[in-house]
Structure 1
């Protein structure tokens, strides 16, 4: 099966491509590193013969207008090209609990992206995933100054990136399912503790200052980011992921 992965050089894009190739499928990588810009290039030549498009693109903009513009423009251009070449399945990686959080700029963009997919005329599957296991360290790195970082005490049920990629690869070769159920890891975790333990596994120390004064507001507190009761639970625990990280750092 010929499958395009959009955002192929990112972490999830690379892992999804590997999972698909391991299963014997032909992967068409799409990214600026591969010479294709979804915001400006003609996408029809690269999508010719593609049956399924897996979109795992990301946007680092911090203003809602910017994230909405990026995700809607990129998604609409992809869908237009997919219609033209006859692609029959658009798979979007999205975020679990997206509609419980109003003030976050990234979530605003992802909501707009979902609407574009739902109204885009290509059969689709939207896969809402919880945050990844490395989310704690990533968030701490945003504000770290001289070994001190502010971080929100979010309650999460994080998932391993490899598990997300395996789920996307499985869904990509099947029929469109509309909105898929949430996908999550097997255990709840505190973001502050995740960051501390991840830094320790990397052999680094950091002072973490819990606060809601940042990019994550109180609308993300409590159970707001926990998956639905029918969520698909991936197998890899945070401890297992940490152990692999520690082994990799020790090499």
Structure 2
């Protein structure tokens, strides 16, 4: 099976390409570094020509009010190229609970991306993942100073990037879901608790202060970013830290 992986040189994309090729498929990575531009459309038709499956793992460069325009333009361009190239399956990676956090610009933008795909006229699959373990350091940095890290007690269910890549590759190689598959890590933590575990493991002397107003995840109500009924991955957070 020939599979065009857009965003195929990034954290998830590079592993998706490797997994698919190891399984005997012909997965080809595409990104700005290989000469495509999903906003201008440059190189897209050539990238997806003859592909059975198109996997879009690109992401908005910002998480603010500019992100909806990015996803609309990029999806319109990619879907047009995929139609012309005859693709029979289009896959994107999204976020567990994304449609339940309308107060965040980026989450609304990801819902828009999903909606464009659903009405795009190509059989599709949406893989929704919980928060990546690899992004926890960035989350801690948003509200940190020399002495403290301020975090809300938002429940999250961290998943390792390698497990996300495995799930995306599996879906891409299968029949279109024409729906959503949720994937998540095996454990649920409160974000402030996860911060303390992380700092302790790294012998970081800073103190985690529970602050319900701190950072982007302060806008998240309840446990909408978790799903214990999702397809659960094997990697535990402390094992990943080690």
**Residue 35 of structure 1: aligned partner:** 35
Query: Once the 2 structures are TM-superposed, how far is the Cα of residue 145 of structure 1 from its aligned partner?
Result: 3.1
**TM-score in terms of structure 1 length:** 0.88
**Residue 84 of structure 1: aligned partner:** 84
- Alignment root-mean-square deviation, CA: 1.8
Q: Distance in 1 between matches of 2:35 and 2:92?
A: 22
**Structure 2: any 5+ residue segments left out of the alignment?**
none
* Structure 1 segment 1-251 matched on structure 2, within 5 A: 1-40=1-40, 41-64=42-65, 66-202=66-202, 204-213=204-213, 214-218=215-219, 220-227=220-227, 229=229, 231-243=230-242
Q: Distance in 2 between matches of 1:197 and 1:228?
A: 21
Query: Once the 2 structures are TM-superposed, how far is the Cα of residue 226 of structure 1 from its aligned partner?
Result: 1.6
Q: Distance in 2 between matches of 1:70 and 1:60?
A: 8
1:17-60 residue CA offsets vs partner (Å, 9 max, x unmatched): 12112212222211112221111114111111211111111124
Note if contact 1:134-1:198 (Cα within 8 Å) is conserved in structure 2.
no
**TM-score in terms of structure 2 length:** 0.91
Note if contact 2:95-2:130 (Cα within 8 Å) is conserved in structure 1.
yes
Note if contact 1:140-1:151 (Cα within 8 Å) is conserved in structure 2.
yes
Instruction: Count matched residues.
Output: 240
